[in-house]
Every structure is written in structure tokens, then in C-alpha cells.
Amino acid sequence: MNGGRATVIGAGEMGHGIAEVFLLGGYEVTLVDVSEQALKRAKALIEDSLKRFAERGKIRTEDVNSILSKLRLSTDLESSVSGSDIIIEAVPEKIEIKAEVLSRASKAARPDAIIGTNTSNIRITELSRYVSGPGRFLGTHFFNPPVIMKLVELVKGELTEDAVLDRAYEIMKGLGKEPIKVLKDTPGFIVNRVSAPELLFFCLVADRGLAKPEEVDAFARSQGLPMGPYELMDFVGLDVVYDSLEYYAKTLSPDYAKCRTIGELVKQGRLGKKSGMGFYEWEGGRAKIPPAKETDKIGLLDVLVLEVNEAVKLIEEGVAGPDDIETAVKLGLNRPFGPITVAKSLTNDEVKSKLEELSKTFECEVFKPAKSIQMGKLRDVIEGRYVQQAEVKEAARPAAPASPSGFKFIRIENLGDHVVRVLIDRPKRNFLSPEVIDELDRAIESMWNDRDIWVMLLTGAGDDFSAGADLSTYISDAMQFIEFSRKGERVFRKLAEIPKVTIAEMKGYVLGGGFELALACDIRVTTKDAVIGFPETTLGLIPGWGGTQRLAKLAGMNTALWLILTGRRISGEEAVKLGIASLAFDRATADEEAIRLAKEIATNNAPIAEALAKRLVNKAAEVPMDVGLEWESTAFGILFNTEDLKEGISSLFQKRKPKYRGR
């Protein structure tokens, strides 16, 4: 229970719900409306809701009346706001109505009172012109029903003070909400802005008669959605949808004015559920949807890439970060995932090509790929690495670092052609401390499901791959030492399990834990003069990150025992002769040769086939032959249905280089 005094202006569907939220938070609440009838109805609805909460055990039965006793109803706006700590305007989504209410309320309110507007689309900066003391004014966008939905978008206008945004955030947290700060004012904020292009998409589908509303809604329900887009628009109100599109047309893009069908329905008075007729006839609160087969004219990817595209635009504009966008969409639309999760499962090329197709088909600029997607930087944006900068030409764009934020000792470089280079960068000799192992673990995880990455090239920055574990690390007891070993083993094993080709470029010192790291990769190349070995037994230790097991399987027991028990160091050329490395390069050209090899693998070989082949070979030494053969035949069958197999065979007969897509 917070306490304090709140005033909610507007007793409609959202207003009375917001009032109940504050009542449940322990506030004295005044609910204001021009209509006595609307106020009485609102009080009855709040009382019914509180009783249902009591029946479900959410509040105590004896608390219902005490909570209701804190509610005051009023038609006098000025006197109602005069002593309030926070004032929420929740009147209809018309600028002229909001302007009058905000002007009157702000003049009568205390100078330190927070004033919020529950607008779902209108820019806060636009409304702040009507507010006395606009620094205390912000967007407080609740979602329907407010008493159930956790999300509140707190929108910072151009004049909103940071301290006011922070105070509002704490108030909403105290009310049990999940507030998201919208750091830059934009029409629709986060959730409605992300949804706007798909709203336009379904309007254009209807305009062009590509599929009947009931066919599209049948498709949507087949994807697990409770309502299809046209039923949902009817439910919300086609007049509300039309007004939103008109506002977006003025503030975001003229494309939003292209919707003809909805405008015609609104002119006919067919507003959806509220009028009994919209796209569908409504009876008893339910739409009478004609039975229909789901359409094949649209696909789920059509809708998802539009959401991803708009989310990327929000990040580029500085409206919010990836995590806040993901959370807002999940909570606001009551979904298990948001656009950032979707984007992580797609490649930049998939998103870009689908958006270009939609933009061309519907002659719609809104559907064109965002700048970052055009430049191949989708992964950077959704993983929080976007930096606003002047647009550069694609041909002149250098390979950009793609390291996740917060990394100190690991660098990831995007080399193009589906290849990344992971560099250990820890002066000196790139020793592997617990922090380096943790960062390597996070780097591997960040790339695991990135379908734009097919090959990982692992090496050290500077002259050395890695001279081994950092023996200066403080370890207090034997159990901690065991766990230090097990952590390294688990992280290195991920290199063998990740569905990418991993290549270790060994150079300079490749000793102890550094050698074990290289052994965990699929392919090893080396400089001829590299210094490779396991010095552990000369220090009273043994290889503790998988070296005893991997070297024996790779080069045989004789070689493994010889290297481990003697502590002898060998050159890169000797490593090739012993079957430990595949190729040896001159020191001066090693980086260039390793990159060339990585790109050759990525451009010549199908990534799904590579991932399955890698998995089978790695398991060959762990399972009986008949089990391995059974897995092999299953993998063979899986590849039969891939687009890459069809492309590989087509390119063979057409005598051209294949263009694999990882599908």
C-alpha cells in the first residue's frame, strides 16, 4: 500500500480501470467525469471487480468496502485535482478534448503534482503545449484492462524532466506494474508503434481483396492466436483503428492513409462490436464469423518481419532498447515472445528480402527495411550494439566489431560471408582467466542461434593464440579447483556442439589451456613456428580442460601420452605431421590464410549439412557403430527436405557455384 492522493479524469473503460489500480495501491482516488451516470456505472464496475478479486483470494473480502471507501466521484475537475499527488487524464483519444482537460487540470493542480496522459498514440510533446508546467507532464499509457495488464508505458516528452519520469516509474512499480521508460517521444510509443505496420498490412490485404477477412482470421487462429486481426479490429472499434491510422499518416508516414476499406466501414456506421456490425456481425458480445479455410495468401513471416522492422526503427531512433521493446510487446500484447526474440531466429537476409518483397507488392514505404537491416546490422541492433552514425555506402563499409556489450577480453569481428572471428585479447600472452572463460561462454551463447553465422574462426589477438590458464587466479580449496576445471570443460565442449564450423588458428604460444581450447574446435590450422604443448605435468598438474580426452581421440594414445607425460613442446609443422592440425602457414600470412579458409568453407558448403556432419563425427567416438549409423541415416533424411540440398543439386547440373541460405 503506497498511500497518497490520485485523480483520474474520465470514467470510461480505461479511466475506471486506472482508478481501481490506484485504489488497490492504497491511494485516495477521485474519479472525475462530466456525466453522473458514467461515474455511477464506473463505481459499480469497480465494486464488481473488487468482489471478484476477493472471491479469487487476491484481496480479503473485508477489504472490499474499505478500498471502496477511498473512492470519491466528482464532476468538478478543478477542485478534484487541487490536492492530488498524481493526475491521470483518460478521456477520449481526441486532441481537442485532451487539450481542454489538460489545460484546466494543470492550472488547478499543485505545482509539484505529476500529470500523466493515458493516450495510446498521440505524441506527448504535442499535448504538452496545453499543460502548465510541462516538465511534470508525461505519457502514462496503461493497457486494457488496466487492473489486469502489468505494462505501463511511461513516455518522456521533449519537455518532461528526468526526475518526473523517475518518480512516475517508482509510483508504477509501487502499484505492482511493470513500467517501461519510453525515452524518446514517438507516435504509438512502443507496443502500438510495433503493431502499426501490421495493422496497415491487414488493411491493404482487405483493400486488395487478397483474402476474405474470415480466411485471414482462420489463418491467425491456426497460429494459436485467440483472435484474428479483423475480429480484433472489430473488437477494439473500427473508428478507433481509423483514427489511429489517420494520426500515423500525419506523423509517421502518408502510407497509413492508404487504407480504404476501414474508412468506408466507418462512414457506414459499421464500427464493429460497439455498433453490432463491422467486418462481421456481432451478437451477444461475439462476432458471427463465417466458416472458412485459412488463407495461403499470407504467411506468419509477413507479420513477424514487419514487427522486427519497426522494433529496429525504434532502437535506431533512440526510443527504447531491445530488452525494453521485447518486454513491452510481450506484456502489452500478452504474448510469450516479442520482436527481438523473433529477430534472433532469423537472418538479416531473410528479414531484408521479405521486407523488400512486401514493400514492392504493396507499394508501401513503411514496409521497406530499416537502415540497419539494409546494412546487414540486424544482429548488432537486437543485441544492443547499435551506435547512431551517419549512413555509409554498403560497398565502403568496413567489417564492424560485433562484440556484445560488457566484454573486456573477447572481441568478435564480422568478416562477412557468414564468418566471424573471435579473438582472445588479454595482455599478455592471452592467458585464460575465469573472466575470459566466462566471456568466451557468453560469446558462444550469443552466436549459437545466429543463423547469419556459419563459421567461427577462433584465435588470439597479437602474436599468441593463448599460453594457457592464468595460474595467478586465486583458488581457495580443492572443490573450487575441481569446479574451475569443470567450467572450462563445459565451455570448451560448446565449441564442439555449436551448430557452426569452428576453426582454431594456432599461432605463437599454444600451451596448456590454450592448446585444449584449440583441440575443442572442429578444425585446427597453425603457423609453422607455433609453440604447442602441455606443460602441466612439469608443474605438478594435468591438462584439466579436456586435453587428456581430446588429444587421445584426435592423435591416438601414443601421441597423447608422449606429449602429456613429457611436457614436450612441438612446432606447428610437427603438429600437422602428427594429425593435430590440418594446415601450417607462414607467420606473415597466417591470419589472411585462416580467414580465406573460413570463407571458403562458408561459401562452398551448406551450413545445415555442415552442422549435422560435425555432430555425427564428434559422436562417432562416443557411441556404438550401429547407433552412429542410425543417426547418420536420420540426418541424411533430414537433409532431403532442405532448400540447400535442392540448390546444391541444381548448381551441380547448371555448372555454377551454389548459393546456400541455411534452409
Question: Cα–Cα–Cα angle for 3, 189, 184, nearest 5°?
Answer: 90
Tens digits of residue pLDDT in 155-183: 999 999 999 999 999 999 999 999 999 99
Contact 164, 114 (CB under 8 A): yes
In the structure grid, which three cell numbers stand for residue 206, read together? 482487405
Q: Which residues contact 127 (CB under 8 A, 6 or more apart)?
A: 95, 98, 99, 102, 117, 119, 137, 157
Burial of residue 610, with CB atoms counted within 10 A of its CB: 0-12 exposed, 13-18 middle, 19 or more buried: buried
| pLDDT bracket for residue 401 (50, 70, 90) | very low
pLDDT of residue 478: 84
pLDDT of residue 1: 46
- Beta-strand (E) ranges in 242-336? 281-283, 286-288
Residue spans in the chain of domains classed CATH 1.10.1040.10: 191-298, 301-382
Contact 412, 403 (CB under 8 A): yes
| pLDDT bracket for residue 625 (50, 70, 90) | confident
Tens digits of residue pLDDT in 574-614: 999 999 999 999 999 999 999 999 999 988 888 888 888 88
| pLDDT bracket for residue 24 (50, 70, 90) | very high
Instruction: Give me the catalytic one of 106, 118, 120, 430.
Output: 120
Beta bridge partners of 510: 466, 532
| Mean pLDDT score of the chain | 90
Instruction: Give me the catalytic one of 106, 192, 195, 605.
Output: 192
Distance (Å, whole) CA 663 – CA 659? 11
In the structure grid, which three cell numbers stand for residue 504, read together? 582454431
Give yes or no: 418 in active site: no
Q: Which residues contact 94 (CB under 8 A, 6 or more apart)?
A: none
| pLDDT bracket for residue 406 (50, 70, 90) | low
| pLDDT bracket for residue 402 (50, 70, 90) | very low
Its pTM stands at 0.72
Tens digits of residue pLDDT in 366-396: 999 999 999 988 988 998 877 654 343 333 3
Class of domain 398-596: alpha beta
Tens digits of residue pLDDT in 634-658: 888 887 888 888 888 888 888 888 8
pLDDT of residue 88: 97
In the structure grid, which three cell numbers stand for residue 133, read together? 508546467
Give yes or no: 192 in active site: yes
CATH architecture assigned to 301-382: Orthogonal Bundle (1.10)
Mean pLDDT within 26-43: 95
How many angstroms separate the most distant Cα atoms in the chain? 93
Distance (Å, whole) CA 85 – CA 228? 41
- Cite the DSSP H helix spans in 529-606: 547-555, 557-566, 572-577, 590-604
Task: Specify the fold of 5-182.
Answer: Rossmann fold (3.40.50)
Beta bridge partners of 115: 87, 137
Contact 431, 440 (CB under 8 A): no
In the structure grid, which three cell numbers stand for residue 255, read together? 502510407
Tens digits of residue pLDDT in 82-132: 999 999 999 998 899 999 999 999 999 999 999 999 999 999 999 999 999
Q: What is the secondary structure of 523-534 as a DSSP string?
A: EEEEETT-EEE-
369 DSSP 8-state letter = P
Give yes or no: 120 in active site: yes
Amino acid at 289: I
pLDDT of residue 150: 95
| Half-sphere CA count of 498, side-chain side, radius 13 A | 29
pLDDT of residue 326: 95
Burial of residue 540, with CB atoms counted within 10 A of its CB: 0-12 exposed, 13-18 middle, 19 or more buried: exposed
pLDDT of residue 394: 37
Task: Specify the fold of 605-654.
Answer: Lyase 2-enoyl-coa Hydratase; Chain  A, domain 2 (1.10.12)
Instruction: Give me the catalytic one of 141, 231, 372, 430.
Output: 141
Task: Specify the fold of 191-298.
Answer: N-(1-d-carboxylethyl)-l-norvaline Dehydrogenase; domain 2 (1.10.1040)
Tens digits of residue pLDDT in 571-584: 999 999 999 999 99
Residue spans in the chain of domains classed CATH 1.10.12.10: 605-654
Tens digits of residue pLDDT in 134-149: 999 999 999 989 999 9
Tens digits of residue pLDDT in 238-247: 998 999 999 9
Residue spans in the chain of domains classed CATH 3.40.50.720: 5-182
Tens digits of residue pLDDT in 300-331: 899 999 999 999 999 999 999 999 999 999 99
Instruction: Give me the catalytic one of 20, 153, 294, 536.
Output: 153
pLDDT of residue 231: 94
Tens digits of residue pLDDT in 516-560: 999 999 999 999 999 999 998 888 888 988 999 899 989 999 999
pLDDT of residue 393: 38
